[in-house]
Amino acid sequence: MRQTLDALLDAKISWPDTMQVTLIPTFESVPMQEWYQQTLEKQKELGITVLGSNSTVAMQDETFPACKIEF
């Protein structure tokens, strides 16, 4: 998992514009929490927002888990 998350940071550096990215993990894990804490400053610099895996979306009187990544 760490390699994939680090690859996102490395790739985002080379993107030609400053597109905002929101990452919504589908589950909590120790490696995810460690990566988040260790790379928080870099995430901010690159315009990457990581939401909690237990985030929910409320639409039209329905509430459901947030589990979509959109670029």
Closest CA to 27 of 10, 51, 2, 44: 51
What does the pLDDT read at residue 56? Answer: 72
Domain locations in the chain as residue ranges: 2-8+17-65
pLDDT score recorded for residue 54: 66
Mean pLDDT by 10 residues, the chain (71 residues): 91 86 81 91 93 73 67 53
Amino acid 55: pLDDT: 65
Quick one: how far is CA 69 from the chain centroid? Answer: 8
Q: What is the pTM of this model?
A: 0.66
Distance CA 53, CA 66 (A): 8
